[in-house]
């Protein structure tokens, strides 16, 4: 059984601990808690270099020190603190940096609320288990045979057909009914590829609808999107060797992932508010009475500094944009402000939870919005790599990885 070391503060008092353990058990893992002698806690805090007021945070630091000193055996690390506590957020961030300098274990950080449920943690736990159990598969760099990948996302459904490391068919459409959306995408991708469904040697599924589609299409690979998207991103960007950071701003949540030789070792997922997601950009385009495909070019023509954004909430953010339009700002300025608002939130929320490595690869459907890529460039100080077919990362990753499971 995969052992996930938990470094946390406050989970016992907020009814979250049971949810964490349930999520781990669902994916065949077990949460473990490094043993610490009481007389080691003060010494660990002193070595760490920060003395928090909370005894729970001190214990959290001491447990991390046991892992760093290799006094306790674990396969992965889960670091979690309450989103309300600023001191805990500081410790969480610095502790993540500390353990990654000392041990080569996959790490995920999480900021929980009192209402956090096991379902919200499932993808994170599944990814940790996948990284540990399927490291050889994740190291795969080439697709072989004739395979398909299906990515059932919250906003769009994508299908890709690959033959011997070349994409020969692809299609995407907005997600409606999970079954019919996938069937439509796969049918069009097969038509473009000039092959029949029964000719496929294997199908891989990922995304929110992966389990449902996995059963329907008898998929040989059913895998969470964090590891699958990572593989698709580095393959498309031709960055499978060395280090990289992947930014995927999705329709419902965001992912920031660091990889080494194509294998994730640190990631964070989600955000406190939908204002940091592609959904906010869809809402902005609708308010500006333009198509989402037009938003990026329009944003590139504007000056975001002319529009004051007082809130990162999607609802209040739209109100800020409406107020700006009423004050006489141009549509271009408002579009630019919306893109920069999302980019700044990704930087402040997701990218503070990982160690950003070069190069930075921006993927997902929102990477096609040029104004958002420009906003990320302004925020990060460098322009991210946006590979061709960047919206197909999940489907490409699934098609590539499933080829490693062919008999």
Q: What is the CA radius of gyration of the chain?
A: 22
d(CA 171, CA 193): 10
Helix (DSSP H) and strand (DSSP E) numbers for the chain: 15, 13
Helix axes 292-300, 370-380, angle to 10 degrees: 50
Residue corresponding to tokens 């692809």? 170
Separation CA 279–CA 253 (nearest Å): 9
Q: What is the pLDDT of residue 269?
A: 85
Residues of the chain with pLDDT under 50: none
Domains of the chain, earliest start first? 2-133 (3.40.50.11900), 140-226+393-405 (3.30.420.40), 239-386 (3.30.420.40)
pLDDT of residue 15: 84
Provide the 3-class DSSP secondary structure of residue 115.
Answer: coil
Helix axes 292-300, 278-287, angle to 10 degrees: 90
C-alpha 298 chain-centroid distance:
27
pLDDT in tens, 298-356: 999 999 989 887 656 666 677 888 888 888 889 999 999 999 999 998 998 889 889 99
pLDDT of residue 13: 84
- The pLDDT value given to residue 91: 95
Phi-psi region of 349 (alpha: psi -120 to 50; beta: other; left: phi over 0): alpha
The DSSP element (H or E) to which 102 belongs, if any, is helix 86-102
The pLDDT of residue 51: 95
pLDDT digits (tens, 9 = 90+) for 16-40: 999 999 999 999 999 999 999 999 9
């Amino acid at each position: 059984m995969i052992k996930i070391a938990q470094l946390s503060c406050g989970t016992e008092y907020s009814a979250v601990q049971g949810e964490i353990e349930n999520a781990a058990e669902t994916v065949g893992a077990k949460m473990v808690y490094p043993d610490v002698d009481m007389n080691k806690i003060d010494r660990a805090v002193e070595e760490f270099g920060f003395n928090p007021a909370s005894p729970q945070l001190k214990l959290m630091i001491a447990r991390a020190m046991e892992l760093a000193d290799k006094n306790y055996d674990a396969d992965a690390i889960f670091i979690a603190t309450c989103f309300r506590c600023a001191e805990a957020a500081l410790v969480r961030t610095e502790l993540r940096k500390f353990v990654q300098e000392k041990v080569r274990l996959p790490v995920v950080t999480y900021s929980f609320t009192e209402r956090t449920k096991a379902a919200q943690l499932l993808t994170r736990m599944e990814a940790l288990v996948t990284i540990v159990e399927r490291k050889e598969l994740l190291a795969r760099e080439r697709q072989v045979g004739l395979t398909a990948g299906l990515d059932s996302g919250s906003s769009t459904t994508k299908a890709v057909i690959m033959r011997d490391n070349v994409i020969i068919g692809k299609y995407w459409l907005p997600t409606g009914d999970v079954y019919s959306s996938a069937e439509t995408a796969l049918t069009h991708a097969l038509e473009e590829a000039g092959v029949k469904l029964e000719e496929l040697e294997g199908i891989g599924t990922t995304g929110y609808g992966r389990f449902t589609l996995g059963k329907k299409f008898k998929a040989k690979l059913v895998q969470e999107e964090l590891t699958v998207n990572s593989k698709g991103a580095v393959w498309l960007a031709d960055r499978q060797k060395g280090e990289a950071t992947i930014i995927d701003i999705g329709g419902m949540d965001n992912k920031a992932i660091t990889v080494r030789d194509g294998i994730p070792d640190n990631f964070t997922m989600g955000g406190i508010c939908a204002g940091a997601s592609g959904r906010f950009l869809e809402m902005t385009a609708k308010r500006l009475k333009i198509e989402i495909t037009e938003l990026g070019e329009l944003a590139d023509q504007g000056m975001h500094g002319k529009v004051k954004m007082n809130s990162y909430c999607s609802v209040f953010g739209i109100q800020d944009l409406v107020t700006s339009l009423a004050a006489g700002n141009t549509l271009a300025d408002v579009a630019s402000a919306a893109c920069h608002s999302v980019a700044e939130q990704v930087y402040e929320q997701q990218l503070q939870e990982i160690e950003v490595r070069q190069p930075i690869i921006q993927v997902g459907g929102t990477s096609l919005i040029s104004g958002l890529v420009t906003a990320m460039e302004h925020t990060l100080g460098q322009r991210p790599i946006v590979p061709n077919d960047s919206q197909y990362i999940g489907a490409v990753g699934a098609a590539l990885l499933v080829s490693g499971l062919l008999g």
